[in-house]
Amino acid sequence: MRFVSVRSLAIGLLLAVGSLSACTSTAKDLFKGVDRIVAVGDLHGDYDQYIKVLTTNGLVDEQLRWQGGKTHFVQLGDVVDRGPDSIRIIRHLMKLEKEARKKGGRVHVLIGNHEVMNIQGDLRYVHPGEYSALITENSDAVRARYIEAVFKHRVSIDPTLATNPDLVMTGLKKEFPLGYVEHRTIWGPGQEMAKWVASHNTVIRINDSLFVHGGMNPHTEYRKLSEINRQVRRRISASFDGEDISNSPEGPLWYRGLAKNGADVELAPLLEMLEFYDATRIFIAHTPTHGAILTRLDGKVIMIDVGISAYYGGSLANIVIEDGILKVMHRGTLVPFPGDDLPVQEYLEIVSELEPADSRLRRYVQFLDNQVDREKELMSPGGVN
Q: Would 256 be classed as within a structural domain?
A: yes
Q: What is the tens place of the pLDDT at every residue in 224-236?
A: 999 999 999 998 8
pLDDT tier at 237, thresholds 50, 70, 90 = confident
For 99, the enclosing helix (H) or strand (E) is: helix 86-102
Do 34 and 153 lie in one domain? The reply is no
Q: What is the tens place of the pLDDT at every residue in 50-87?
A: 999 999 999 999 999 999 999 999 999 999 999 999 99
Q: Would 361 be classed as within a structural domain?
A: no
Q: Would 111 be classed as within a structural domain?
A: yes
Do 102 and 223 lie in one domain? The reply is yes
Q: Would 369 be classed as within a structural domain?
A: no
Counted domains in the chain: 2
Residue 6 pLDDT greater than 60, yes or no: no
Q: Is 45 left (phi over 0), alpha (psi -120 to 50) or beta?
A: left
Do 92 and 114 lie in one domain? The reply is yes
Q: Would 195 be classed as within a structural domain?
A: no
Do 67 and 179 lie in one domain? The reply is no
Do 210 and 183 lie in one domain? The reply is no
Residue 374 pLDDT greater than 90, yes or no: no
Q: Would 325 be classed as within a structural domain?
A: yes
CA of residue 215 relative to chain centroid, distance: 12
Which of 317, 336, 355 lies at the terminal end of a domain, its last residue?
A: 336
Which of 187, 218, 233 lies at the terminal end of a domain, its last residue?
A: 187
Q: What is the tens place of the pLDDT at every residue in 130-161?
A: 999 999 999 999 999 999 999 999 999 999 99
Do 101 and 247 lie in one domain? The reply is yes
Q: Would 234 be classed as within a structural domain?
A: yes
Contact 111, 252 (CB under 8 A): no
Q: Would 368 be classed as within a structural domain?
A: no
Q: What is the mean pLDDT of residues 23-31?
A: 78
Do 266 and 215 lie in one domain? The reply is yes
Which of 136, 158, 187 lies at the terminal end of a domain, its last residue?
A: 187
Do 241 and 271 lie in one domain? The reply is yes
- In sequence order, which residues have a C-beta less than 8 Å from that of residue 32 and are 6 or more positions away? 207
**What is the model's pTM?**
0.91
Position 58 scores a pLDDT of 99
Strands 72-75 and 106-109: parallel
The whole-angstrom separation of Cα 217 and Cα 117 is 20
Do 322 and 224 lie in one domain? The reply is yes
Rounded to 5 degrees, φ, ψ at 299 are 80, 5
Do 205 and 97 lie in one domain? The reply is yes
Do 273 and 136 lie in one domain? The reply is no
Domain of 211, CATH number, reads 3.60.21.10
Do 205 and 302 lie in one domain? The reply is yes
The whole-angstrom separation of Cα 175 and Cα 178 is 10
Range of the domain at 163: 2-19+126-187
Rounded to 5 degrees, φ, ψ at 137 are -65, -15
